Amino acid sequence: MSLPIRNLAIIAHVDHGKTTLVDALLKQSGIFREGEDIPDCVMDSNDLERERGITILSKNTAVSYKDILINIVDTPGHADFGGEVERVLGMVDGCILIVDANEGPMPQTRFVLKKALEKGLRPIVVVNKIDRPNVEPDTAVDQVFDLFVELGADDDQCDFTTLYASGMQGFAKESLDDEDADMQPLFEAIIHHVPPPAGDPEKPLQLQVTTLDYSDYLGRIVIGRIHNGVIKAGQQAALVKEDGKIVKAKISKLMGFEGLARVEIPEAKAGNLVAVAGFGDANIGETITSPEDPQALPLIKVDEPTLQMTFSVNNSPFAGQEGTYVTSRQIRDRFDRELETNVALRIEDGESAEQFLVSGRGELHLGILIETMRREGYEFQVSQPQVIYREMNGQPCEPYEYLVLDVPEDAVGSCIERLGQRKGEMQDMQTGINGRTQLEFVVPARGLIGFRGEFIRISRGEGIMNHSFLEYRPLCGDLETRYNGVITAFEEGTATFYALKNAEDRGVFFITPGTKVYKGMIVGEHNRPQDLDLNVCKAKQLTNHRAASGDELVQLQTPVEMSLERALEYIGPDELVEVTPESIRLRKVKTKKLAKR
């Protein structure tokens, strides 16, 4: 007898409408009360997710259709958050692959789909955004089939079910000729094509921890799937740790999922996704099992990090002025909490007690961690991202990325030239509609550090850039990624309009008049390869012939705004980004000595 449960993951590239489609499923399933205020992108609950329009943390929800409980897991589309993807795919028995009707499958679709196919999942393909003009849904389906073959899908996986949908309009249909109605065809496809969960309620309990949460009232909450057996609130259970050690505890609270809420339940059987309180030291991948017959499930394997940065205590002349948490002990405690839930992160001690080596999947992965910490009140400084080298078959190797650019025709030559300088190898070039060209490259990961800002300038903001980890290959030699020097402040003080205006011919500035600066702080980019010390605090000497009102009609060039991501990409090996809750500053490492005087 099949269980009245379906567990599935939603897979899609960034901005292909994954979260919007889940919104439509939730709204049409009847879980919201009539008249209830329903936000858009309900699954993207994190502030950073809403601001950036991307999914960072995997989350699950549940809807009922024809007395069948459908557990839906929303996965991140970006390869930098692959650690989230890998651990949740073990919770599901099927998946929905969403592709844009115009763009087709993109690089990060490839990353998550490869993981799903390796686990034997058979995807339902949903061609989304068919309500947009100039779409080519049939071409998108052909590209999906080619991608399946390329990724080594078996015959059953290649014989996928296809639906055409619009998450924004709230409909799905089996054929392009069908009428636009509702999401019922997608619900039906889930029931018929996603297999019910395997698992035997008669066997001893086995529940694998895939996500961790925290409650002020319940302490650590573990979320996972029951592979075998039955779990009950109040029962005694055992936790099999990563090292094989067994810890016994009582299940203080058992919760299931209903819509976006967790609801307390008395018991749950094999195949269900549940949240459990009572295991204060459980970690991801470990197994909650029967104390009489403890049997561990295989640990979750996560790809190793490819990028590393040094986090350290801020020691600039402005240290401690803006942050709440500034000491190495506070930063270490914050990292310890992050490691409990972020399985793709690695943290080691640095050269001194005030330094930490933090390794992650990419600049976005580490950038999200930095942004989250600064919003929580932490103040620290970070070094230039460095790729992690490995020795394979006795040969030093470095990570390579698969890069796809979608650019206007007039930017194609410049993109090929710049990536050639960064040791990129072009794999394919296709001219699409509306005078745009798609370029595919294989490029060393360190060749992409700092490239995004350059790419935006080359394409005048009209280009789209996506990349994902490919593999480790032998070292490709030296790379030059920045050709201009920087302008640094000559002394501590406040930048003046007069000084910045007089130095405009030296380069572009990152600051505005009134910005507080210190010696060694980077305030702009020099026109030439050498670094330049500049007095940006110099004031105009006022006399009878030099009136203060004389500058009113004169305007400064617009400064370059240094966001966190842009700053991380921009800095060189001898430079740091100073991160505080209020400011992002760039500086030279050598100012460290000045701060101690």
**pLDDT tens by residue, 137-168:** 888 899 889 888 888 888 888 888 999 988 88
What's the mean pLDDT in 557-576?
85
Listing DSSP states for 228-270 in one string gives ESEEETT-EEEEE-TTS-EEEEE--EEEEEEBTEEEE-SEEET
Do 188 and 277 belong together in one domain?
no
Pairing of strands 287-289, 380-383: unpaired
Listing DSSP states for 262-307 in one string gives EEE-SEEETT-EEEEES-TT--TT-EEE-SSS--PPPPPP-PPP-E
Domain limits at 96? 5-193
At 7, give phi and psi (nearest 5°).
Answer: -110, 120
Instruction: Specify the pLDDT at position 549.
Output: 53
Question: Residue 388: is its pLDDT beyond 90?
Answer: no
What's the mean pLDDT in 441-455?
84
Convert the pLDDT of each residue in 173-191 to its tens digit. Answer: 888 888 888 888 888 999 9
Instruction: Specify the pLDDT at position 57.
Output: 41
Report yes or no on 368 lying in a domain.
Answer: no
What's the mean pLDDT in 333-348?
81
Of 26-30, 96-100, 296-300, 442-446, which gets the smallest average pLDDT? 26-30
* Phi and psi based region of residue 17 (left: phi greater than 0; alpha: psi -120 to 50; beta: remaining): left
Residue closest to 577 by CA, chosen among 385, 389, 411: 385
Q: Look up residue 28 and give its two tokens.
A: 């049409």
Report yes or no on 444 lying in a domain.
Answer: yes
* Phi and psi based region of residue 330 (left: phi greater than 0; alpha: psi -120 to 50; beta: remaining): alpha
CATH of the domain at 251: 2.40.30.10
Amino acid present at 393:
N
What's the mean pLDDT in 452-461?
82
Q: Which residue has the higher pLDDT, 89 or 297?
A: 297
Whether 151 and 197 have beta carbons less than 8 Å apart is answered as no
CATH of the domain at 405: 3.30.70.240
596 annotated as a binding-site residue: no
Question: Residue 413: is its pLDDT beyond 50?
Answer: yes
Collect all residues with Cβ–Cβ distance below 8 Å to 480 and sequence separation of at least 6.
421
pLDDT above 70 coverage of the chain, percent? 85
CATH of the domain at 96: 3.40.50.300
Whether 579 and 309 have beta carbons less than 8 Å apart is answered as no
Question: Residue 109: is its pLDDT beyond 60?
Answer: yes
Instruction: Specify the pLDDT at position 433.
Output: 60
Report yes or no on 303 lying in a domain.
Answer: no
> Residue 217: exposed, middle, or buried by beta-carbon count in 10 A (0-12, 13-18, 19+)?
exposed
CATH of the domain at 504: 2.40.50.250
- Mean pLDDT score of the chain: 81
Report yes or no on 46 lying in a domain.
Answer: yes
Whether 8 and 92 have beta carbons less than 8 Å apart is answered as yes
pLDDT tier, 313 (very low <50, low <70, confident <90, very high otherwise):
very high
Whether 128 and 194 have beta carbons less than 8 Å apart is answered as no
What's the mean pLDDT in 8-29?
77
162 annotated as a binding-site residue: no
Residue closest to 519 by CA, chosen among 504, 506, 537: 537
Residue closest to 71 by CA, chosen among 286, 343, 256: 256
Do 470 and 490 belong together in one domain?
no
What's the mean pLDDT in 349-372?
85
Among positive and negative, which fits the CA dihedral 421, 423, 424, 427? positive
Do 43 and 147 belong together in one domain?
yes
Residue closest to 287 by CA, chosen among 278, 298, 277: 298
pLDDT tier, 34 (very low <50, low <70, confident <90, very high otherwise):
very low
Convert the pLDDT of each residue in 241-286 to its tens digit. Answer: 888 888 888 898 898 887 767 888 998 988 888 889 888 888 778 8
pLDDT tier, 580 (very low <50, low <70, confident <90, very high otherwise):
very high
What's the mean pLDDT in 46-73?
64
H helices present in 267-411, as ranges: 328-341, 363-375
Q: Look up residue 321 and give its two tokens.
A: 């002025």
17 annotated as a binding-site residue: yes
Which of 30-34, 84-88, 476-480, 493-497 holds the top average pLDDT? 493-497
Instruction: Specify the pLDDT at position 426.
Output: 92
Do 401 and 517 belong together in one domain?
no
Strand partners, 9: 73, 95
Do 531 and 588 belong together in one domain?
yes
Q: 312: number of CA atoms within 13 Å, CB side?
A: 19
Instruction: Specify the pLDDT at position 55.
Output: 41
Question: Residue 45: is its pLDDT beyond 60?
Answer: no
At 74, give phi and psi (nearest 5°).
Answer: -90, 120
Report yes or no on 417 lying in a domain.
Answer: yes
Convert the pLDDT of each residue in 389-407 to its tens digit. Answer: 888 888 899 988 888 888 8
Instruction: Specify the pLDDT at position 593.
Output: 40
Do 32 and 181 belong together in one domain?
yes
Domain end: 289, 322, 353, which one? 289
Residue closest to 21 by CA, chosen among 49, 44, 4: 44
Whether 398 and 476 have beta carbons less than 8 Å apart is answered as yes
467 annotated as a binding-site residue: no
Q: 311: number of CA atoms within 13 Å, CB side?
A: 29
Listing DSSP states for 475-537 in one string gives ---------S-EEEESSSEE--HHHHHHTGGGEEES--TT-EE-TTEEEEEESSSS-EEE-TT
pLDDT tier, 552 (very low <50, low <70, confident <90, very high otherwise):
low
Whether 240 and 192 have beta carbons less than 8 Å apart is answered as no
Do 65 and 133 belong together in one domain?
yes
Whether 578 and 584 have beta carbons less than 8 Å apart is answered as yes
19 annotated as a binding-site residue: yes
Cα–Cα distance between 175 and 537 in angstroms, integer?
67
pLDDT tier, 46 (very low <50, low <70, confident <90, very high otherwise):
very low
Report yes or no on 449 lying in a domain.
Answer: yes
Instruction: Specify the pLDDT at position 494.
Output: 93
Residue closest to 466 by CA, chosen among 111, 174, 213: 111
129 annotated as a binding-site residue: yes
Domain end: 135, 166, 193, which one? 193
What's the mean pLDDT in 556-585?
87
Calculate the CA dihedral of residues 244, 247, 253, 256 and round it to 10 degrees. Answer: 10
Whether 277 and 245 have beta carbons less than 8 Å apart is answered as no
At 319, give phi and psi (nearest 5°).
Answer: -60, 140
What's the mean pLDDT in 358-373?
84
pLDDT above 90 coverage of the chain, percent? 17
Question: Residue 201: is its pLDDT beyond 80?
Answer: yes
Do 436 and 495 belong together in one domain?
no
Q: Look up residue 373 and give its two tokens.
A: 């910490």
What's the mean pLDDT in 29-58?
46
Report yes or no on 165 lying in a domain.
Answer: yes
Number of domains in the chain: 4
Cα–Cα distance between 249 and 26 in angstroms, integer?
35
What's the mean pLDDT in 532-554?
69
Instruction: Specify the pLDDT at position 180.
Output: 81
Question: Residue 512: is its pLDDT beyond 60?
Answer: yes
Cα–Cα distance between 420 and 425 in angstroms, integer?
7
Calculate the CA dihedral of residues 398, 403, 408, 411 and round it to 10 degrees. Answer: 10
Whether 403 and 466 have beta carbons less than 8 Å apart is answered as yes
18 annotated as a binding-site residue: yes
Do 144 and 175 belong together in one domain?
yes
Pairing of strands 346-349, 395-408: unpaired
Do 410 and 281 belong together in one domain?
no
232 annotated as a binding-site residue: no
Report yes or no on 401 lying in a domain.
Answer: yes
Do 147 and 70 belong together in one domain?
yes
Cα–Cα distance between 81 and 514 in angstroms, integer?
39
What's the mean pLDDT in 329-351?
84
DSSP 78: S
Instruction: Specify the pLDDT at position 547.
Output: 53
Query: Could you tell me the CA-to-CA distances from 38 to 27, 31, 43, 172 in Å, in that order?
Result: 8, 11, 11, 21
What's the mean pLDDT in 89-118?
80
Do 591 and 527 belong together in one domain?
yes
pLDDT tier, 545 (very low <50, low <70, confident <90, very high otherwise):
low
Instruction: Specify the pLDDT at position 41.
Output: 43
Instruction: Specify the pLDDT at position 35.
Output: 45
Domain end: 136, 170, 193, which one? 193
